[in-house]
Structure 1
């Protein structure tokens, strides 16, 4: 084991291949089949690629820690690049089950721990990403969470599969293959017993799911129903039609695709409303899109009288239990795709013809922010399910013990029961009044399409025995594919329920993704699944499902609703998180830094650029616990396509590498702290620019070297002799970051420096010539110089910067006799916006030459900061951020180009 007196620096504390990790993490969001996230919904999973890379970098020494092996800077860099290549292979999704790739990573970790592999612990395991990836890397893995839903998901991911590693399936049918690896046999059994369960359920309740007659235009005969589309109703507020119920319909679309349009048309006869299904483009698309909506929220209009149905009226009717349901249309499985038919009275009546013998009569959380459904009447979880949906879920759940009864191995029987119950819980996410019909994908959209339970006015009731997204077998197929791809280990993993404040971290490597201050209280949302899991598993895991609902008061989030106010919630979070962090710092393995994730979002920075309370409070807990933060890495977690639409709404997981602060850490003054920042921060920021960290990520990434300086001291004393808070330290770090970016302007040509200052003051708007003249003279040039450079227009006593779309289409940097960094940057941004990572974009960059290219990147960082602070220039910020995000790949492509221009060959090393 490495000496703990002078522990060697790990790779995560020095450098990681951030771009490769970000790319793989973002791509992972689009992977469905076989991905562990499809085993069961959890709301905030860290990307597996990031967790895998972070764990590896936590455990492997940085080459600079071994001067005897790597005596020169060149040798250190060469070895670092070798480790980077291992990570770059490791993060690719396709490699997550490849023994050769995983074997190289595991061998590297073993090399660093010759006395035995360390155990990894995550006390906030949530969706289980970190413990799972520790297991994949061959490490003993443990996780815990207060939330029993999270714990059950964790058991299904890291604990149960390893118990039956390489085992053949136990079902009495014919095996699908000759050889089984890992959890493949388990996965096959899950699907086999799920089909048996579905067959038994059909025998019992199949009569509630009849076929429906298809019209001749759709081929005639009968078809299997995929979904029944319903709308809520309230009594009309107009006394003239007293008692008549009218539908609350968000829109009339059933399918809205470029080549397929289907919509519902209400038909009124007296006070009776019926519905017709129409194909083709409607005459008034706006009316179809509006439905009976009359504005935002719960405002509608009465279809019978035209009267306004106000939000207050809707709420009152809902709270009084007077809402009803009307069937709008039926989706049928037809030849060549979905078919839509008009509702029938028989189908509408059948849905309410039987009552369930058990309902989940447990109170819904009343959280106003995340449970807005409760504003309209629902008070119990049972209110989120129609009668037929409740009957179906009850039936599937109740038949599971019978289906697995003949499995001879009691341990395996328990495991099979566990996965089938998870399958029914997964089905509940598609069998609820909180689902809706997705009109472009033509499927039943899940309840938790967002991290909340909003009110749905129209809902889609899927047929659990169909082939559509509301069916049971489809849900279990996702689950089984995820299980088949899970890593299995001879030593296995452990997942348990525990309050993080009570965990003993002795001897563990800690890698964790804690709750984020006042972010979503998942305990409130988890009740939706908990009541079904408890119904099916309380006898199997009595300790885990001992409470009526998910524990909430102890959940470590700053929820003002639970704690009686924002100050009280803030204190609860800070004290609790500090306790956890202190235990981690004092008990965890001292030779390996802890990795702590924080889901940072742009909304956590105010207009002045200072971080708001959540981020500062979280960091305060880490520092107060005795940790020194050695590095921070911004790991992106959104799809690349989404990023390019809105780079400024970027969601970033900031990963911090933390070690216990030195026992003899000294106390310094505010002035000394600022002096240390100015001495150390510029070099770190230059390294970030060199690594092409996206401008939108720089404020978070710069926290690393900045807060590392702050947190390595016992205390930083203010002028009034009080200790400096983390929030103040962050403000100072941000100020130094701004100064650094401003100082970069000094390296640009004078025309570019003029343009930067003019852009800061005016953007692309016109300004007075006299002001421009003074600005130019201060830089030793004239306004004419800037005009001749092609940067500004000057006429009639006014000056303005050219917009990119106004720039010369024929411009060539090689023939421009007055070439400036500003021009190069703007032309390159324009080319990148038009063509992205194309040959033409790379060729343009190559023509600049290496020195000018680096200056262009520096300018993009500067202009991003200026634009991001000006609300009207957020699109500008997006353009500069996109360019730098693609910079590494762009320079790689440019370096690979060998074009001949005139009589000379372009051969630049950018």
Structure 2
């Protein structure tokens, strides 16, 4: 739990979010929300980098509730927040919600409108409505505007209504669940849509013997470079079709009559044929017929000249025994279907980093679909476009017609995600399956892909998409007031509400990291066809608006610097507008998720942070605090051991006082040294991960910087935001270095040696010379169990190399360093006698020794992490970050060990 940010000189009443948050509970719930696959608003429609709903629920509550100024009452409010964010990541219980709403009702003013000008997937507004706030949302992009409109405007308008479709069971169910009637209607009209589409294009999906089709597995082809061969070379990444135990299957290529066809190998072999002998170099394959090689340049040329084709490799089916694979039938029609007349002609963005298909001749959106998929998706979109009229003819009113048609239009977007050549065939321990597009925020070139069955019952099927979407709708609140959602430029979003009426809470675009509008076109081309009849205000253009999008895309704005200036100018206008809409007693919540990175000159910086903060300051907005919230799911594409920032950072902002003065560089440094240590202590006490401490320090550091209208350099020029961030980082380094005063002499020697050599061996004489400086000796350090020496060399002992049997209660030369290293060994260990429980047992024994303060052990981990980060020692950095991150669990395990009584004999320990 993090507590801090008090400022008694401030006359206004502070909100709880400016003083305390149960960050551990919020982060735990947010991680669980990210890991949930069903029953969340993420199931409604894809959006990019969505903010977890538990985090918004907590932040919105804490932004409105006054801090009581009393520790006991504050603790009660923090308990309310903890109840609002169950560790499972689900919605809070009715009792927890009732208690939270009662606290909100006790505030001096009525609840504000929650305004989000970058509504995205709608998580901000959904959670605001769950807490009882009125909501207004906007987004320049029609795709998130439609999704959020469905969630917060259209669905609440029909809650409690009986079904149009006349489902008696649903009619009775509305007394228990106000959404029962709507869900029944969605299922009814979805089934009707599927029946009509099947009548139009069902003949294109021929049945096969051997089971119900799950997917047709395709590979791109290019002509062999040898004219004498002339084989169409299939390009596929792996011969494996399934690695499921007992059901392994793989491709066996057969070359006959100048063609490659495939048989299916099955059994327990671990070494199937290697397929096209793809090398480790991307795009380098060899011909299955003659062995000639092709490289990526040749494949691109083949695509550009129209010589790239596609071939079915195998068909995945489900039968009575499970998932199976059969060879492509001779004369299959799938590969020779002509495309329909109406296809998405829109071209992909000129951004090969995230849209690489155009490099291979696939320039249009239509080019990433098979002809059969184009027929099918067009048929679904056209049928859904008729749904609103069906509903009205069946007796439904305008609200019901719009919401049912809108939900099914969103489902068409979901269908496109699983029904293009961006769908991968994923091998796993269970049955292999198709994986929809956007495993990352890009549209890459795939050599092989899965064409799913829209009339089946697996991934990509209409019925499955409808089921997933309705599960997402089921997670919405049942007593929400009808919100308002507009398509609007964020620069003018403040005009959507009355001045000084709103709580501004938003998760804005991440600088240049995600090309939201360009990616959204993937969905837009189908949503426009399906939803334009009921949302003409959203789908009046041929593509998503891009010129006014507040993203720093270099390819759109003529280079990085111009893109940066565009971003800053746009957000300066945005924050100026939002400041007018913000209620005077409330802070503004802005979420960002970037950590600082090292430049070529060794300086830690971040273009994203610099630009956003510069825009805030230019708009007269001060940052008064930051809260790092961990919310990365366990399946993120970055490796689990990576030292990437796994947090969102919630910036708490206030308008800068009109009477703010100026300060020079020396005064700013003095203020940092004076105020920052007291702000950092609560964050460390909360066991904030070491990776995030630097990010968290930005809040109090920027509060100091932004409370002045101007901070000047010695030459009179204004200090840049980038410079201020660098000085804040250096001040944090100084604070962490001051820990050394609390350490024993052996530990201080270890820190200095680690800084110079990490785990490498070095000259014994140098080690002894340094030992004299710290009033210790190398033999003493060897006796302490932290150093190994011999042959004129000395080195620190890595945690993994420490002895497995260790008891701190009998250690006659116990050091903070040794305790920290053994804790790290146990936390990182995988074998018997390791893990959190074993580490907790050790910590419980350390507590019996008065000469060791466990807070200094955690402080050492912070310090060592900082050293590793500055020197780029990734593996060691991860160890110490994990030690800090595990501290709350470690303390819980230690208390459990103390309750049991620490009676294990030393030769049985750890």
1:212 and 2:199 matched: no
Q: Give yes or no for the alignment of 1:579 onto 2:563.
A: no
Equivalent residue, structure 2, for 1:82: 76
1:309 aligned to 294, 300, 317, which one?
294
Change (3 A) 1:512 1:283: closer
Shift of 1:21: 0.7
Query: 2:322 corresponds to which residue?
Result: 337
Work out whether 1:439 is the aligned partner of 2:424: no
Say whether 1:235 aligns with 2:223: yes
In the alignment, which residue of structure 2 is the partner of 1:189? Answer: 185
Aligned to 1:460: 450
Do the aligned residues in 2 keep the contact of 1:234 with 1:247 (CA within 8 Å)? yes
Task: Report the Cα offset of residue 355 of structure 1.
Answer: 3.6
Q: 1:824 and 2:819 equivalent?
A: yes
- CA deviations 1:19-66 (Å, max 9, x no partner) are 1111111111111222001101111210101111111111111122xx
Residue by residue, what CA displacement relative to the aligned partner does 1:299-323 show, whole Å, maximum 9, x if unpaired?
A: 2222222111121111111112221
TM-fit CA distance, 1:282: 4.5
- Determine if contact 1:247/1:292 at 8 Å carries over to the other structure: no
Q: 5+ residue gaps in structure 2?
A: 1-9, 906-910
Q: CA, structure 1 residues 339+607, in 2 after alignment: closer, same or farther (shift >3 Å)?
A: farther
Secondary structure at 2:688 match in 1: coil
How far off is 1:108 after superposition?
1.2
In 2, Cα distance between the equivalents of 1:787 and 1:34?
A: 56
Alignment deviations for residues 77-126 of structure 1 (CA, whole Å, 9 cap, x no partner): 2112111111111112565153221111112122114x421111011111
Q: Please give the residue correspondences for 1:759-774 in structure 2 after superposition, counting only pairs within 5 Å.
A: 759-774=754-769
Contact 2:841-2:902 within 8 A present in 1 as well: no
Q: Helix, strand or coil for the counterpart of 1:503?
A: helix
Counterparts of 1:489-888 in structure 2 under 5 Å?
A: 489=479, 491-504=481-494, 506=499, 507-601=501-595, 603=597, 608=602, 610-639=604-633, 645-834=640-829, 838-849=836-847, 851-871=852-872, 873-888=873-888
Say if 1:605 and 1:895 are closer, same or farther in 2 by CA, change over 3 A.
farther
Unmatched segments (≥5 aa) in structure 1: 65-75, 215-222, 905-910
Secondary structure of residue in 1 paired with 2:767: helix
- Corresponding position: 1:280 with 2:267: yes
Aligned pair in 2 of structure 1 residues 50, 900: CA closer, same or farther (>3 Å)? closer
Residue in 1 aligned with 2:240? Answer: 253
- Counterparts in 2 of 1:291 and 1:538: CA distance versus 1, 3 Å: same
Q: How does 1:392-407 map to 2 (within 5 A)?
A: 392-402=376-386, 405=390, 406-407=393-394
- 1:200: which partner in 2? 196
State the Cα deviation string for residues 466-522 of structure 1 (Å, max 9, x = none). Answer: 111021100010101111221244531111100000122622110111112111111
Deviation at 1:191, TM superposition (A): 1.7
Q: Residue by residue, what CA displacement relative to the aligned partner does 1:702-737 show, whole Å, maximum 9, x if unpaired? A: 111111111111111100101111100011111111
How far did residue 628 of structure 1 move?
Answer: 1.3
Contact 1:575 1:621 in 2 (8 A): yes
Q: Distance in 2 between matches of 1:641 and 1:294?
A: 27
Tell me if structure 1 keeps the 8 A contact 2:311–2:335: no
1:780 deviates by 1.7
Judge which range, 517-526 or 304-313, deviates more. 304-313
The residue that corresponds to 1:418 in the other structure is 406
Contact conserved, 2:627 with 2:696, CA < 8 A, in 1? yes
Other-structure match for 1:353: 337
Change (3 A) 1:899 1:542: closer
CA separation in 2, counterparts of 1:853 and 1:177?
A: 61
Matched residue SS, 1:765: coil
How far is 1:791 from its partner? 1.2
- Cα deviation digits, residues 536-565 of structure 1 (max 9, x gap): 122221121111100111110111100111
Cα distance change, pair 609–175 in 1 and its aligned pair in 2 (3 A) = farther
**CA distance, structure 1, for counterparts of residue 374 and residue 541 of structure 2:** 22
Could you tell me whether the CA contact under 8 Å between 1:125 and 1:145 is conserved in 2? Answer: yes
Q: Deviations over 1:401-448 (max 9, x none)?
A: 555513312321121111111111111111112212112252211121
Query: Equivalent residue of 1:142, what SS?
Result: strand
Q: Does structure 1 retain, via aligned residues, the 8 Å contact 2:425–2:450?
A: yes
**Residues in 2 aligned to 1:298 and 1:630: alpha-carbon distance in whole angstroms:** 50
Cα shift at 1:374: 1.0
Do the aligned partners of 2:845 and 2:902 also contact (CA within 8 Å) in 1? no
- Partner residue of 1:25? 30
> 2:643 is paired with a residue of what secondary structure?
helix
Q: TM-score scaled by structure 2?
A: 0.93
Cα 1:485–1:167 change in 2 (3 A) is farther
- Is the Cα–Cα contact under 8 Å of residues 828 and 835 in structure 2 kept in the other structure? no
How far, CA to CA, are the matches of 1:354 and 1:795 in structure 2? 77
Moved more, 298-307 or 858-867: 298-307
Note if contact 1:248-1:292 (Cα within 8 Å) is conserved in structure 2.
no
CA distance in 2, matches of 1:636, 1:601: 13
1:369 aligned residue: 353
Matches within 5 A, 1:55-134: 55-64=60-69, 76-92=70-86, 93=88, 96=91, 98-113=93-108, 115-134=109-128
Secondary structure of 1:491's counterpart equals coil
Q: Indicate conservation of the 8 Å contact 1:462/1:470, yes or no.
A: yes
What is the CA distance between 1:874 and its match in structure 2?
A: 1.4
CA contact 1:601–1:651 (8 Å) conserved in 2: no
Comparing 797-806 with 260-269, greater Cα deviation is found at 797-806
Give how far 1:339 is off.
1.0
Separation of aligned partners in 2, 1:449 and 1:899: 46
Verify the 8 A CA contact 1:372 1:455 in the aligned structure 2. Answer: yes
Q: Check conservation: 1:794, 1:800, Cα contact below 8 A.
A: yes
